[in-house]
């Protein structure tokens, strides 16, 4: 529909093993052990944090009720001078293992809040969704960190949504609930990311104060081919609606999938059908293109 040539993400970076081998090309790479390569990656990650090598990309989220882009998700990339752009799957696991992920999370949070506030000053009011790692979520200073990001950027809390996964909240449910309530008191929103891929999704929906359920792309893929996916997706949408939760479907790549979601009352979507993640400098132009093409899409739909 919108970006057919860019629906499938193109892998532009080496995998983690190749990343490690770039630091020590003549050594055997054993990425799951704390080898010399691993220490070198840690050194480079620390340098990247200090030298601002992490960039925030933004993927638009579409509201089909208003036929406009209403929010974006912040996604981190590492622009390593020796290699180029590195995707998160190639450095996030290492950053988590080395205890550096919280610093990256905080960097992304602050950049995203400042950027969205800057857009609002131009008259473009968007919400921002930011992913949190488990390490960051369990930091005793989390609420203070979020509050500081909002105050420093002057972003109103209702425009910030934090995305948490089911696996993050498997343990210590009382502490999780306490932290979530403290975050809600700030006025921000909480989203359950990758819903349906964890262990006790229904329990978590009932137990914790969510605002949004984000349906995992696994249930969106090839809806026209898999009847079971359509049944499950309908059940998730119905359940979320009955619990008064907002719903976002991610991984939308085909128009037929978008039609199904619209017809079944799921009105927030994101995916390569609309746009890949884009750098900040290209976001406004991308949003204008999406809004224009959404208007054309719905005009054609009504005319038909």
What CATH number should be reported for the domain holding residue 194?
A: 3.20.20.450
In a domain, 117, yes or no: yes
Residue 84 has a pLDDT of 92
Tens-level pLDDT at each residue, the chain (304 residues) = 554 334 334 333 333 333 334 433 333 333 343 445 778 888 999 999 999 999 999 999 999 999 999 999 999 999 999 889 999 998 999 999 999 999 999 999 999 999 999 999 999 999 999 999 999 999 999 999 999 999 999 999 999 999 998 888 777 788 899 999 999 999 999 999 988 665 556 777 888 999 999 998 888 877 777 788 889 889 889 989 999 999 999 999 999 899 999 999 999 999 999 999 999 999 999 999 999 989 888 766 644 4
> Residue 224 CB: number of other CB atoms within 10 A?
12
From residue 20, alpha-carbon distances to 27, 43, 250 in Å are 9, 12, 31
> Residue 107 CB: number of other CB atoms within 10 A?
16
* Residue 221 neighbours by CB under 8 Å, 6+ apart: 229, 251, 253
In a domain, 172, yes or no: yes
Is the C-alpha dihedral spanning 266, 271, 272, 274 positive or negative? positive
Residue 225 has a pLDDT of 78
Domain of 129, in residue numbers: 54-79+99-303
In a domain, 14, yes or no: no
Locate all alpha helices (DSSP H) within 168-279, ordered by sequence.
173-186, 201-207, 227-242, 255-263
> Residue 66 CB: number of other CB atoms within 10 A?
11
Residue 152 has a pLDDT of 98
In a domain, 49, yes or no: no
Residue 222 has a pLDDT of 74
Residue 36: HSE in the Cβ half-sphere, 13 Å Cα cutoff: 8
In a domain, 227, yes or no: yes
**How far apart are the C-alpha atoms of 85 and 11, rounded to whole Å?**
10
Structure tokens at 253: 């790549």
In a domain, 38, yes or no: no
In a domain, 91, yes or no: no
In a domain, 23, yes or no: no
From residue 59, alpha-carbon distances to 5, 65, 76, 205, 279 in Å are 16, 19, 11, 25, 9
Can you name the residues that pair with 84 across neighbouring β-strands?
80
Q: Are 55 and 2 in contact (CB under 8 A)?
A: no
Number of domains in the chain: 1
Residue 301 has a pLDDT of 61
Residue 299 has a pLDDT of 66
């Amino acid at each position: 529909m919108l970006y057919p040539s860019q629906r499938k993400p193109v892998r532009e970076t080496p995998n983690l093993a190749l990343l490690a081998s770039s630091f020590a090309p003549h050594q055997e790479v054993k990425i799951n052990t704390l080898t010399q390569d691993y220490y070198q990656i840690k050194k480079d990650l620390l340098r990247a944090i200090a030298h601002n090598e992490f960039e925030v990309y933004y993927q638009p989220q579409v509201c089909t009720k208003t036929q406009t882009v209403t929010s974006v998700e912040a996604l981190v990339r590492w622009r390593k001078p020796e290699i180029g752009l590195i995707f998160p799957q190639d450095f996030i696991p290492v950053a988590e293992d080395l205890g550096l992920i919280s610093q990256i999370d905080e960097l992304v949070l602050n950049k995203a809040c400042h950027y969205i506030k800057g857009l609002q000053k131009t008259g473009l009011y968007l919400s921002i969704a930011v992913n949190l790692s488990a390490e960051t979520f369990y930091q005793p200073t989390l609420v203070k960190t979020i509050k500081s990001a909002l105050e420093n950027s002057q972003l109103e809390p209702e425009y910030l949504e934090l995305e948490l996964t089911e696996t993050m909240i498997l343990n210590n449910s009382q502490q999780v609930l306490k932290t979530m309530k403290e975050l809600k008191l700030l006025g921000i929103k909480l989203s359950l990311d990758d819903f349906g891929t964890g262990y006790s999704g229904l329990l978590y929906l009932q137990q914790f104060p969510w605002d949004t359920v984000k349906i995992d792309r696994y249930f969106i893929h090839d809806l026209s081919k898999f009847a079971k996916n359509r049944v499950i997706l309908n059940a998730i949408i119905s359940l979320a609606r009955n619990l008064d939760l907002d719903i976002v479907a991610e991984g939308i790549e085909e128009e037929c999938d978008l039609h199904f979601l619209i017809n079944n009352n799921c009105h927030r979507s994101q995916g390569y059908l609309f746009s890949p993640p884009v750098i900040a400098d290209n976001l406004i132009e991308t949003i204008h293109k999406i809004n224009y093409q959404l208007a054309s899409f719905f005009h054609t739909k009504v005319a038909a």
